[in-house]
Structures are given as C-alpha cells and as structure tokens.
Structure 1
Amino acid sequence: MSDSKFPAEGGCRCGRVRLKISAPSLLTMACHCTGCQRMTASAFSLSTAIPSEGFEITQGEPVIGGLHGASQHYFCPYCMSWMFTRPEGIDTFVNVRASMLDDPSGFTPFIETWTSEKLPWATTPAVHSFEKLPAYSDFEWLTKEFLALSAK
C-alpha cells in the first residue's frame, strides 16, 4: 500500500514551494469527485493522509485556493499546483497530494471515494471503494487495516 521511505520530500511543479513528510501514511486515497477531477485536470486525485506532526513546508508559502470552503486546499501561489488539503475540523492529519512528492510511486490508493462521480473508464487498485466519503467512524478500521497491510 505504501512502501515509501521516510522522510520524503516534494514540491510544486515550479519548485517554489517544497514540503517534507517525516511520518508514514495513515491511509492512501483516490478521490473521484468532480471537484478533484477539475482541480487536478485528471480522473481522480491521489492523496496520502500524513499525521500533522510529520508534515512541514520547507520552502515557500502556499496559498488557499479551490473553493475556499471549510476544508482548505493549498496551492503554490506561482504555478498553482494543488499540493495539500487540511480537512475541515480535523487537525490530526494533512492530506498531501502524493503526486507532489519527488517519488510518488509507493503511494498506491488503499481506498477510493466518490465512486458515484467517477469517470466510467477510471480504475484503481484500491482495496475498498465508497460511493461517497466513508463515515468518519469507518476511518478507524480503515487506518488500522491500511497500517497492518503496510507493515507486511
């Protein structure tokens, strides 16, 4: 599920904003919602939930973009790459766009969300699929299962 080595570094397309993750993923996800499709100009967004204490911006100052709603989407102010999201009311993790990492190859999606909006040809190797977002209470067992599989 996530065989990446930590710490891992990454940045936006132009390199003006850089980030570092120093803790293993709690969960990896592909989101098929139309908002993610439009913000990534792709079929889905690929993200990894990183414990907040294991995430830092090492260069530059990202800005809030997207819908400017309760969940805050952070972008490079120059190239406008969507880099990470801080979900509404959740301070324990940061959702980092795995494709912003220098080596995103180890971040295979464990779950996929918003499959009710996915493009008919889009497929992922996700273990679990959800028509919308899983219930908040589901994240406890999903995280435990993900961490157990990642440890193997």
Structure 2
Amino acid sequence: MKIPLTGGCQCGALRYEIHAEPLSVYVCHCTECQRQSASAFSMSVMVPRSALDYIKGTPRRWERVADSGRIIAGDMCETCGVRPVNHPLANDKVSILKPGTLDDTSWLHPVGHIWTRSAQPWVPLPDDAVIHEGHPADMNALIAAWSAYRETMRAG
C-alpha cells in the first residue's frame, strides 16, 4: 500500500487522494450495499475523513437512511454515477471508501464482515474474521483487527 491512496470514478471526472493509512478494511452485507454494488456484498475501507481530498471534479452529495437507521451521505460523480465515498453523519471523523474505485487494490484484505444477517447464504465467512450480525455499536474490533493484520504484514 502506497500513501497517498489514489482513485476515482469510472469515467475519470472525479479523482481523490487519501493521505493516511486506512483504519480498517471490511465487508458489508447490508441490503443497501448489495443494491449499490449489484452483488452479494460491498467492501469498505474506513479512512480518516480529514485525509480525503478530491483532486479533480466536485462530487454531488446524496443522503439516505441506511439499514441501521443512521443517515449516510454519499459522494457521487455527476457524470457516471459512481459513488466512491460515503460519510456516516453519526461519525464525522471517518469516511467509508468503496475500494473498487482505488487505482491499486492489490493490498486489500478484509478483516471483518458486518450485517451478516443479510448475507447471502452461499457467501462463506472466514473463521478468523470479526463478525457482526448488524451494524457494530462501535468499530473498535474492526480497527484492532486491521491494525493487527498490518503489523503482521510489516513484520513479514
């Protein structure tokens, strides 16, 4: 993983940089993520909101109520409609990056799964992952698991 992390939308009109290491990488199985990804789940990369900068284009902001009942604002490209980043309004310190929009995805390794009660029955959940049936009360276990994973990678 090379900081800054860079990425953008599908058409290239919206580009971003992340100037800090992610706080966690996990998989979300909520029905909203299933709809957004048009798949069984969506990966999420939690980053410090203060580390996110758009370097090209201006995203359109869209707010919605998530399955958890929390309000989430999403940034999307007005041209192609890709939504690379979500901002939970309940926590103004973090943003949730959709890692398929990253230029380099080779380092991604999810350490947990949330909203598993909505998971498709054919999706296997790793025994060593942090598992939450719904939205966790806090993200501390996911952050700790990512930190431990990163330490093992550095020790290599």
What's the TM-score, normalizing by structure 2? 0.86
Structure-2 residue corresponding to 1:54 = 51
> RMSD of the TM alignment (CA)?
1.8
CA distance in 2, matches of 1:25, 1:128: 17
Structure-2 residue corresponding to 1:79 = 80
Structure-2 residue corresponding to 1:130 = 132
Query: What secondary structure is seen at the aligned counterpart in 2 of 1:145?
Result: helix
Structure-1 residue corresponding to 2:23 = 26
CA distance in 2, matches of 1:41, 1:81: 12
Rate the CA distance shift 1:93–1:105 in 2: closer, same or farther, 3 A.
Answer: same
Deviation at 1:44, TM superposition (A): 0.9
Structure 1 residue runs without a partner (length 5+): none
Deviation at 1:46, TM superposition (A): 0.8
CA distance in 2, matches of 1:104, 1:17: 18
Stretch moving more, 56-65 or 116-125? 116-125
Deviation at 1:98, TM superposition (A): 0.8
> What is the aligned length?
147
Structure-1 residue corresponding to 2:117 = 116
| Percentage identity across paired residues of the two chains | 31
CA distance in 2, matches of 1:66, 1:79: 18
CA distance in 2, matches of 1:88, 1:53: 14
Rate the CA distance shift 1:81–1:66 in 2: closer, same or farther, 3 A.
Answer: farther
Stretch moving more, 21-30 or 58-67? 58-67
Stretch moving more, 43-52 or 140-149? 140-149
CA distance in 2, matches of 1:66, 1:37: 17
Deviation at 1:130, TM superposition (A): 1.1
Rate the CA distance shift 1:124–1:97 in 2: closer, same or farther, 3 A.
Answer: farther
Instruction: Give the letter aligned to residue 40 of structure 1.
Output: S
CA contact 1:39–1:66 (8 Å) conserved in 2 = no
Structure 2 residue runs without a partner (length 5+): none
